Chain A
């Protein structure tokens, strides 16, 4: 295999892998954040609260 070709394959495959990890991390963070939200109905309103509130 041509050395330039090998270089490009290596570079692109590692950046695809890294961006995959990055985006799954972001979405995981977001899911964790959404899990922290709870809705509590009280009197005339539905409060948007953090689970630790």
Chain B
């Protein structure tokens, strides 16, 4: 049910309080409901998008430019799923294992995650050569608010309070006793046995940092809260064309035919052999677009003999041509971090967040290596040809098209000096506080995060259920 008056919660004790109603928060509440476990979701925003509410997400960025943090996330029911692109792919097995997690434990929730996101469990991978795979994304149209609003309204077990901002947790002796909530400029303190923070890749760190300030000694000082923040650089690395028929004959019956762009990812081998980060690429221009014509025209000038052969493939609609878009992994760097602003606060007197972010040289090196090797693969198997932007070829810089994924800040790990939560997503040394969402990602991988967020959230809900029931 949706609770309109926070005062009714004053003397209530829910077994679980979830902070945030995005994909992580709603997934957890839904799973608990299946086992008849009551939960309360506290959402800072309203049912719909409100400009005034969004202003609370105002943040300063120091270092390199990234997309305004006010608009790359949403403060409303359903969280950022209200405007996400819907690209889904599980994180590669070898990447999850780098987090110290058992892949099977995450993989077993893949089918259930696909049902929630209303997509096919069809993430095939086909080897092109030792360095590259053709891969498949699925595209979800699920907006969590649209999908679950009515369900929550009618639910006996899921309770939702909107327009209520968490400022911090209170507690002692390794235990959280209550959460402080601001509702309509008034302060309330709500109690629970278990608290789960699901407020996204910036707010999760912000709330923990402010809790640390307000309750000295409650949270271990060693924990790197807010540190190792990452994103997925999204860039155009160059242009190119590829004969679909030649790729098909190279990988024979394993060629993946599906809707959408043609995706190629780096293999584990290339990342290990060349000591680079992983990445995925796609091309998707239509034959009648300006960019398509420009690329073919350019290519005719640099390689006239070869260029003439292309004309036939255009007529046969055999060419995949266009900008080479890349989603890239970023290194986990301690100095890329979220800190509380020492002076400026929001209207509820919580310090605003400052993000310190610098692009890394390793990312530029990786882009160059990936594209250079892809260029060689294209020539070797005569799949087509590619061209690289000069600034990348010279390893000077890359231009981000947009920074929308906020990862890290409360990463998973065993070592308390380099991680904030353990493998069960419990904050180190606090026995009843858990975190779910992209902030727990230890490494970024190249895959879009929502699919993994839902997988991790189902796993957390199941683990908590077995503790409660």
Contact = CB atoms under 8 A, between A and B. Distances in A.
Given A36-B379, A37-B379, A47 B305 contact: no
Contact of A37 (B302, B305, B375, B393): B375
10 closest A-B pairs by CB: A48-B375, A45-B387, A53-B303, A53-B306, A47-B387, A46-B393, A42-B302, A40-B302, A50-B379, A47-B302
A41 B298 CA distance: 11
A48 B298 contact: no
Contact of A48 (B301, B305, B306, B372): B372
A52 B380 CA distance: 12
B388 interface: yes
A47 B374 CA distance: 12
Given A40-B302, A43-B298, A53-B305, A48 B390 contact: no
Contacts of A45: 238-239, 298, 387-390
B83 interface: no
Nearest to B304: A53
Contact of B387 (A33, A37, A46): A46
Contacts of A48: 372, 375-376, 378-379, 385-388
A49 interface: yes
B451 interface: no
A44 interface: yes
Nearest to A33: B380
B388 A49 contact: no
B385 A44 contact: no
B243 interface: no
Contacts of A50: 306, 379
B303 to A, nearest CB: 4
Interface of A: 33-34, 36-37, 39-50, 52-53
Given A45-B298, A48-B375, A53 B380 contact: no
Given A39-B393, A53-B305, 18 more contacts: A33-B380, A34-B376, A41-B390, A44-B389, A44-B390, A46-B387, A46-B389, A46-B393, A47-B299, A47-B303, A48-B388, A49-B303, A49-B385, A50-B306, A50-B379, A53-B302, A53-B303, A53-B306
Given A37-B379, A47-B303, A42 B298 contact: yes
- What does DSSP make chain B's interface, helix, strand, loop or mixed? helix
Nearest to A43: B298
A49 B302 contact: yes
Interface string B258-301: 00000000000000000000000000000000000000001101
A53 to B, nearest CB: 4
Contacts of A33: 376, 380
A13 B242 CA distance: 46
B281 to A, nearest CB: 14
B367 to A, nearest CB: 13
Contact of B385 (A34, A36, A53): A53
A49 B239 CA distance: 13
Given A40-B302, A42-B298, A49 B390 contact: no
A50 B390 CA distance: 19
Contacts of B303: 40, 47, 49, 53
Contacts of A46: 238, 387-390, 393
14 contacts: A33-B376, A34-B376, A44-B389, A44-B390, A45-B388, A46-B388, A46-B389, A46-B393, A47-B303, A47-B387, A48-B376, A48-B385, A48-B387, A53-B303
Nearest to B377: A48
Contacts of A44: 389-390
